[in-house]
Amino acid sequence: MRLRVAGVRQDGAERIAYVDFEGFGRSFTLAAEFFGGGNMILCSGGKILALQRSIDVRHRKLSVGLEYAPPPAGADVLSVSEDDFAPLGSTDLAAGKWLGRTLGLPKKYVEGILGIAGIDPGAAGESLSRGDISGLCAAARRVVSDVVSGAHDPVISGGDALPLRLGAGPFEPVPSFMEGLDRLLTGGIVDRATEARGEGPAKQIAALESRLEEQQKAAVAAAERAASIKRAAGSLYELAARGLDIRDPGAAAILAAAGASLGTERGAHVVEAGGERIRIDPDAPPQSVASAIFDAAKRHSGAAPAIEAAIRSTQKRLEEARTGGAPAAPAVAGIRRRAWYERYRWFHTSGGLLAVGGRDAPSNSAVVRKQMAPGDTVFHGDIFGSPFFVLKGGAAAPAQDIEEVARATVCFSRAWRGQLHGVRAFWVDPSQVRRSAPSGEYLPKGSFTITGSRNFAAAGALKLAVGVFQGDGGPVVSCGPPGAVSATALCHAVIEPGGSEVSDVAKRIRNDLAGMDPAASVPGIDEYVRALPPGKSRVTGTGH
């Protein structure tokens, strides 16, 4: 909805956060309740518009159309006084239960405060003396003061991160309360993922067996594709021997006998063989066409050694897992700290320069506003719906790097989804980019005004490569021009527009590359989806 955040607030120590939004002449409030099972409630003018779950209990009712009201408030723990504790002396409730209900504190804090005051949590409130109640109030105020003022002694205890040593322990000291929280939450995420993926010996063996089966299938498929393409190339030599042109009526039968056929794709002639569509020049001699097709077969044959190496590695790990030897590699990767540029589209050019581009209107704006600097070069496609790309240090970039970023700019634009060939890109100096519209004009979000002359560059064919690279924290996935990606990638897949949906292509690429290099299986499928251009794509080749 593109609303503006007007403020974030909390009423006292209530475990409810309110986020206020404004836009289109209306105001909205999102209430996030962090107690019970949790809840999210969207309101406008006090009325509930939507909510995560309805509530109908004795003291509270939440449903669409009703007025939103927080639960009945207890004493404010931030400003508690002895008067707030006076009712404790006349109740038969246990002291621990009364304290938890009145102040709304978690069990650890209740036990810690009672321990400081030297009061049995199970003691009835009416059995406590005035001095006991006064000491309990003083203990509560002391704990609150230490937490709020930052006088922390942070520990991990019983699966909780605490800013103070509360309760009987055991305690594991940590450098800070936030680091303790981070350690627990990160560990919990990894533990749940590990449990979900199954790292028991039996499940490890099953996972390795499945991987080995996929790798063996990939090896067979690559060999079959290479053989089929070679047969098609061989049939062209037969055409030459008979003095036939590839477009002669008799050529179709000869190609068909080799399991191939002649077709067209967007006005260009192609030979279809082994599931591949190989562009050819029909006016060239059959020997030249055969040579081009043999090159395609070599690309598939070239993948065989890498696939065989991956199979041997998996077989070794499977044998070790079955015999109880060296443990199989963990199925869950550790939490990897992302580089700043991974929030955008990115790749490194053949010259080693970093290029970053927008994924959508907000990131398009961020690339220019936050990442553009003097000495960079700014790219945009000569088409509506193009991202901005910034080539860091591009002022001194060689022509090849300029061409690569120009291609990426066009390929990540609407040209890919529409299969619009021939679109150009242009590049300018950062000083030519204006962040505001001329007087009387409007700029949509993520758009900018370009002044002065533009330097146009041919984008070339609509073709990209998805590669797996060795990053500082582990394997990472990036997409860019084939020449730039293949130069440093562990393995890569070349794609062109048209074919299958993004999710299906991402799965195929991950499976194909995992058969070539085990590192390609470390990034999740979402990483591959994020790297792909918007719209349908098809894989036309793989390599190292």
Task: Please write down the HEC assignment for all residues of 170-189.
Answer: CCEECCCHHHHHHHHHHHHH
**Tens-digit pLDDT profile for the chain (544 aa)?**
568 899 999 887 788 999 999 987 889 999 999 887 889 999 998 899 999 988 888 788 999 989 998 887 767 777 788 888 888 888 998 988 888 888 777 788 888 888 888 899 889 988 999 899 899 899 888 888 888 887 888 888 877 888 888 877 788 888 888 888 887 777 666 666 555 555 556 777 888 888 888 888 877 877 777 788 788 777 777 777 777 777 777 777 887 877 778 777 767 777 787 767 777 777 777 777 777 777 776 665 666 676 787 788 888 888 887 876 544 444 444 567 788 999 999 999 999 999 999 998 888 888 998 999 999 999 999 998 899 999 999 988 899 999 999 999 999 999 999 999 989 999 999 999 987 777 777 777 667 888 999 999 988 899 999 999 988 878 999 999 999 999 889 999 999 999 999 999 999 999 999 988 888 988 889 999 999 999 999 999 998 7
- pTM for this structure? 0.45
> Which of the four CATH numbers 1.10.1380.10, 1.20.1090.10, 1.10.8.50, 2.40.50.140 does domain 79-187 have?
1.10.8.50
User: Which residues share a beta bridge with 124?
Assistant: 94
Task: Please write down the HEC assignment for all residues of 64-97.
Answer: CCCECCCCCCCCCHHHCCHHHHHHHHHCCCEHHH
User: What's the distance, Cα to Cα, between the start and end of the chain in Å?
Assistant: 44
Amino acid at 83: D
User: Token pair 């939004």 is at which residue?
Assistant: 21
Amino acid at 306: A
Torsion sign, CA atoms 86, 90, 91, 95: positive
SS3 353: coil
What residue segments make up the domains of the chain, in order of their start? 4-62, 79-187, 205-314, 340-458, 464-543
136 contact partners, CB below 8 Å, separation of at least 6: 85, 88, 95, 99, 113, 114, 117, 119, 128
Contact 170, 179 (CB under 8 A): no
DSSP letter assigned to residue 449 = E
Euclidean distance between CA atoms 516 and 511, whole angstroms:
9
